[in-house]
Amino acid sequence: MLQIQENVSLKNFNTFGIEVFTRYFVEIAHEDNLVELFADPQWQQTDRLVIGGGSNLLLVNDFNGLVIRMNIRGIEHRISHQDIFVEAGGGEVWNDLVNFCVDRGYAGIENLSLIPGSVGASPIQNIGAYGVELKDTFVSCRAFEIATGTFKTFTEADCKFGYRESVFKNELKGLYIIVSVKFHLSLIPNINTQYGAIGQELAVRGITSPTIKDVSQVVSHIRVSKLPDPSTIGNAGSFFKNPLVSVDEFKVIQSKFPDVVNYPGGEGLVKLAAGWLIEQCGWKGKTVGNTGTWKNQALVLVNHGGATGTEVFSFSSQIIDSVYTKFGVMLQREVNIIS
Ligand code: EPU
């Protein structure tokens, strides 16, 4: 029997460490639990929030609905010549999956080391770091359709992945719950150290032909040095997306700010480093009340202790306003705001 708890604090279920309460809470350890849950029409009609690691959430108010905590575990792997197919339960911790693969020499997700969160959440925003995105190794995911109580497999094309985007954040938002994800990895590594800091850190360590383990260790080292550890300082990683602007807009910005950090953003577009824009507005390392930006990475908003969701949200609005005033660029929040 499923246990539905009432009036549960979510403080330990969001990496921002914000205390709000949910009216109902249920933990899902097996996909059959979802069938059982939604067989009761009450839950079809109740507001729902599905959480994994809670690492991309800002909880602004108490939640007057049902929080569904996904905890389906298990990693299966199949080897076919140099090809590896790995399928992991949505409740697995993302970095545990990365370690499982790196330890066995299964290459493809080593650049995604130490990204917080769960496997089931990884396709929703097509997680990415250090020149690699989830979609590069993604084969498919299995998801529960709430309205019909059935399971469906989504291929890469079905997921419509973009930069921190997928169909699950857009047209199918709230309609499916991801229960497992399948990846295509390889025994033959395609080492990707293009991303500046990786190459520099390998050089510091005197490594000229890195293994995937080296890459994983270096990426973990860079992340630890730049990003606050949520177990001590509440945060949800990058709070905003890196904004895309047209080449024309970019030229105007660059004429006024020649140092503007930028990357190719796809056809006719330029991607700007939001962290740089925020730092230029004087916000880096600033504390306002119980919130602020991280001293080593202005794109990360932090809870210095006791921050409310409203406080963090208003602070993020102040940042958006000042970046817009200075650069004419409207930042978009990357974390999921639950209000
Ligand atoms: N920068 C600054 N000041 C800052 C922060 C950054 O000037 O305070 C400049 C840096 O000089 C650097 C550039 O901005 O040249 C990019 O910074 P960084 O390498 O730290 O990466 P990012 O673009 O800020 C993105 C992802 C991160 C991911 C890193 C590494 C987004 C929204 N964020 O950050 O992902 O770890 O690249 O690949 O795309 C996340 O999504 O939660 C996340 C942490």
Task: List pocket residues of ligand 1, CB cut-off 6 Å.
Answer: 129-130, 226, 237-238, 241-242, 261, 273, 275-276, 279, 284, 297-299, 334
How large is the average pLDDT for residues 46-75?
97
Statement to judge: residues 165 and 86 lie in one domain: yes
Q: How far is the CA of 118 from the centre of ligand 1 (A)?
A: 21
**Would you name the residues annotated as active-site residues?**
164, 238, 334
Share of the chain above pLDDT 70, in %: 100
Does the pLDDT of residue 115 top 80, yes or no?
yes
Contact (Cβ atoms closer than 8 angstroms) between residue 241 and residue 277: no
pLDDT score, position 196: 77
At 210-254, the pLDDT tens digits run 999 999 999 999 999 999 999 999 999 999 999 999 999 999 999
Domain assignment present for 208: no
Nearest residue by C-alpha to atom 43 in ligand 1 = 238
pLDDT score, position 1: 81
Q: Which CATH number covers residue 56?
A: 3.30.43.10
Domain assignment present for 136: yes
DSSP labels, 148-172: TTEEEEEEHHHHT-BTTB-GGGTTT
Contact (Cβ atoms closer than 8 angstroms) between residue 234 and residue 307: yes
pLDDT score, position 335: 96
Pairing type for strands 291-294 and 57-59 reads unpaired
Q: Which residue, 96, 90, 163, is CA-closest to 126?
A: 163
Does the pLDDT of residue 195 top 90, yes or no?
no
Statement to judge: residues 46 and 93 lie in one domain: no
Statement to judge: residues 331 and 240 lie in one domain: yes
Structural domains in the chain (count): 3
Does the pLDDT of residue 40 top 90, yes or no?
yes
Q: Which CATH number covers residue 282?
A: 3.90.78.10
Does pTM surpass 0.75? yes
3-class DSSP assignment, residue 262: strand
Statement to judge: residues 95 and 12 lie in one domain: no
Domain assignment present for 211: no
Statement to judge: residues 52 and 81 lie in one domain: no
pLDDT score, position 287: 98
- Quick one: pLDDT band at residue 189, thresholds 50, 70, 90? very high
- Mean per-residue pLDDT of the chain: 97
Q: What angle do CA 138, 337, 181 make, to 5 degrees?
A: 15
When computed from its CA atoms, the radius of gyration of the chain, rounded to whole angstroms, is 20
| Separation CA 234–CA 228 (nearest Å) | 8
Domain assignment present for 323: yes
Atom of ligand 1 nearest to the CA of 274: 24
Contact (Cβ atoms closer than 8 angstroms) between residue 163 and residue 126: yes
Statement to judge: residues 319 and 250 lie in one domain: yes
Domain assignment present for 316: yes
Domain assignment present for 24: yes
Statement to judge: residues 333 and 241 lie in one domain: yes
Does the pLDDT of residue 87 top 90, yes or no?
yes
Domain with 50, as residue range(s), is: 5-70
Q: Which CATH number covers residue 174?
A: 3.30.465.10
Q: How many CB atoms lie within 10 A of CB 153?
A: 12
